[in-house]
Amino acid sequence: RHHRVLEFVYFSVVSSTGFAIGLLSGPYLIKWYGISTLTAQLLLIVSSTLVNFICRKLFVFKG
């Protein structure tokens, strides 16, 4: 494991990155593919969850 402070920083960066990817992709999906805003919000949740899970498992908590 990492030091507690460093682990918190990694955890926060991963969470912010996952949220930003999902948030920025929504308007593009609506504009390019004409999907509904509800679908875009659901994709925000799914993409944020996947990025957080994968990055936390492989990088933050290493295992």
Locate the DSSP E strands across 1-63. none
Residue 18: pLDDT band with limits 50, 70, 90: confident
Residue 8 pLDDT greater than 70, yes or no: yes
CA distance 23 to 29: 11
Share the mean pLDDT of the chain. 81
CA distance 10 to 34: 35
pLDDT mean over 55-59 = 76
Residue 9 pLDDT greater than 60, yes or no: yes
CA distance 50 to 56: 10
* Domain enclosing residue 10, as ranges: 4-60
- Domains contained in the chain, number: 1
Q: Residue 10: what pLDDT? A: 81
CA distance 53 to 11: 11
